[in-house]
Amino acid sequence: DIQMTQSPSSLSASVGDRVTIACRASQGVRNDLGWYQQKPGKAPKRLIYAASSLESGVPSRFSGSGSGTEFTLTISSLQPEDFATYYCLQHYSYPFTFAQGTRLDIK
Amino acid sequence: EVQLVESGGGLVQPGGSLRLPCAASGFTFSDYYMDWVRQAPGKGLEWVGRIRNKANTYTTEYAASVKGRFTISRDDSKNSLYLQMNSLKTEDTAVYYCARDLGTRGGDYWGQGTLVTVSP
């Protein structure tokens, strides 16, 4: 199975900050990776697909990069509604695997 | 508008069974692969399994943690997805989400989830 590891596990930041979350795969997943945002009590929402493509309707302050085993999600200027938990998901091979998540909260 | 609505959650004893339906609307259900994902209370997301479409002979994939105990099926005539859960364990306690074709470039969609609690 492919193991997905995110860093950091938690992060405190302020409105307007630039934030980067890293996701590492234990073996190459090409660009078969998505980034999800989840708020308490809600279903996850995909922000980025194919590692770097922005989902329709998602603000342009979100961006993704990487390929193979190293990926990043960047939020260029944090907004109040961005405080949530973020997950990466590899769908390159079965079983699909999520990383453990990064909790982003207000400093 | 794409909608996925899970139901059937509740309290069940260890060793018991439960079947979760997921009703789909707003898209051509029969065209898509469908997934189940779960989330234990206060924990991260875990992919449970997938069922492919008719063109791919409805084949399935499962996470190791549920293989042999859970079965995913679908009824395209009813636009419905199912998760049959047998031999339930306390560690299966989670919110269960159905999702449309995780990873697809056409947008993936999730239901609101249904809570399954496995407890004596």
pLDDT surpassing 90 at residue A107: no
- Does the beta carbon of A43 lie under 8 angstroms from any beta carbon of chain B? yes
Express each pLDDT in A64-98 by its tens digit.
999 999 999 999 999 999 999 999 999 999 999 99
Q: Do A55 and B112 touch (CB under 8 A)?
A: no
The CA dihedral of B6, A59, A41, B74, to the nearest 10 degrees, is 10
Residue A42, both tokens? 């809600």
Between strands B70-75 and B80-85, the pairing is antiparallel
Rounded Cα gap, residues A84 and A104, in angstroms: 5
Under an 8 A CB cutoff, do B110 and A44 touch? yes
Q: Using a CB–CB cutoff of 8 Å, tell me whether B40 touches chain A.
A: no
Residues forming a β-bridge with A62 = A75
* Closest among B81, B82, B83, B85 to B69, alpha carbons compared: B85
Q: Which residues of B touch A101 (CB under 8 A)?
A: 44-45
pLDDT in tens, A7-52: 999 999 999 999 999 999 999 999 999 999 999 999 999 999 999 9
Q: What are the chain A neighbours of B70 within 8 Å (beta carbons)?
A: none
CB contact under 8 A, B64 and A1: yes
pLDDT at B22: 98
Tens of pLDDT, residue by residue over B58-67, are 999 999 999 9
Is residue B16 a contact partner of residue B120, using CB atoms and an 8 Å limit? no
List chain B residues with CB under 8 Å of A36.
45
pLDDT at B107: 80
Q: Å from A76 to nearest chain B CA?
A: 23
The pair phi, psi for residue A8, each rounded to 5°, is: -80, 175
B58 touches chain A (CB under 8 A): no
Any B CB within 8 A of A38 CB? yes
Does A83 contact B at CB distance below 8 Å?
A: no
Q: What is the pLDDT of residue A3?
A: 98
Are the C-beta atoms of residues B116 and B94 closer than 8 Å to each other?
A: yes
Interatomic CA distance for residues A50 and A53, integer angstroms: 6
Burial of B101 (0-12, 13-18, 19+ CB in 10 A): buried
Cβ within 8 Å, pair B47-A36: no
